[in-house]
Amino acid sequence: MLEAALYLFPVGLSDSAMTEVLPQVNIDLLRQVRHFVVENLRSARRFLKKVDRNIDIDSLTFTELSEHTPASEIPAMLAPLERGEAIGVISEAGCPAVADPGADLVAAAQRRGLKVIPLVGPSSILLSLMASGFNGQSFAFEGYLPIDDSARTKRLKEMQQRILRERQTQIFIETPYRNNRLLAELCQRLPGNMLLCVASDITGPKQSIITRQLSAWAKATYDYNKIPTIFLLFS
């Protein structure tokens, strides 16, 4: 059942049970893989223990791939796969290779013609888009807004244009302790009739996904401080 491939294993976004966010096949595959490339060793071990407490973690090999790993060290991580053994990629939260260093490993595997198999799991980008009511035929995820004020102003303007001209939903994130500040800033700097969806603690016990006009957000009571949150704009 296990193929010689680079398997991309999503991890839960919150403390919810495995069965709430991962298909059974992910768990079956995780039990069989012997080699892992992980963003953080400690959280990957914790994840595997949660998947199945009987997994013999000491018999597995782990290589860390973080944003600090030199690019030159990445190709060697594919050695087990080049010998014909599966490798599993586990990131800290969410889907590997979507907004983390796993992408460089995938790119190296693709360059060598190795098989890559992505598995289903929770993505705050996709789940928030589904629940926003915004255009899903055209959308863009931009990561963090620039911090520098003039670059930030330019980006906000560009997003506004893409919403209005291209009907493209704009999705972005913020460092969690700055969430409230960002929300206030959006209310101040964008037209009141623009729609903002704020999706927080996705898949978690306090999940909240609310779409309102910015003029209504400006009057609303909220506190997203330190809660993982994703922001979507549309009109």
Q: Strand, coil or helix: what is 7?
A: strand
Q: Which of 57, 79, 140, 164 binds its own copies (CB under 8 A)?
A: 140
Residue 168 found at the interface with its own copies (CB under 8 A) = yes
Closer residue to its own copies, CB minimum distance, 64 or 142 = 142
Residue 210 found at the interface with its own copies (CB under 8 A) = yes
CA atoms lying within 13 Å on the CB side of residue 185: 13
Cα 167 → chain centroid: 23
Residue 193 found at the interface with its own copies (CB under 8 A) = no
Q: Which of 63, 93, 123, 183 binds its own copies (CB under 8 A)?
A: 123
Q: Please, is 161 exposed, middle or buried when counting C-beta atoms within 10 Å of its C-beta (0-12, 13-18, 19+)?
A: exposed
Residue 78 found at the interface with its own copies (CB under 8 A) = no
Residue 25 found at the interface with its own copies (CB under 8 A) = yes
CA atoms lying within 13 Å on the CB side of residue 1: 9
Residue 159 found at the interface with its own copies (CB under 8 A) = no
Q: Which pair of structure tokens corresponds to residue 47?
A: 């994840």
Q: Strand, coil or helix: what is 89?
A: strand
DSSP letter string over 214-235?
A: HHHHHH-----TTS-EEEEEE-
Closer residue to its own copies, CB minimum distance, 57 or 140 = 140
Residue 97 found at the interface with its own copies (CB under 8 A) = yes
Residue 116 found at the interface with its own copies (CB under 8 A) = yes
Stretch of 41-49, 70-78, 80-88, 125-133 contacting its own copies, by CB under 8 A: 125-133
Q: Which pair of structure tokens corresponds to residue 71?
A: 């690019």
**Least distance in angstroms from the C-beta of 229 to its own copies:** 15
Q: Strand, coil or helix: what is 78?
A: helix
What are the backbone angles phi and psi of residue 82, rounded to the nearest 5°?
-70, -20
Stretch of 38-46, 76-84, 97-105, 218-226 contacting its own copies, by CB under 8 A: 97-105
Nearest 5°: CA angle at 185, between 181 and 191? 150
Q: Which residues contribute to the site for its own copies (CB under 8 A)?
A: 8, 17, 19-25, 95-100, 103-104, 106-111, 116-118, 120-123, 125-143, 168, 197, 203, 207, 209-212
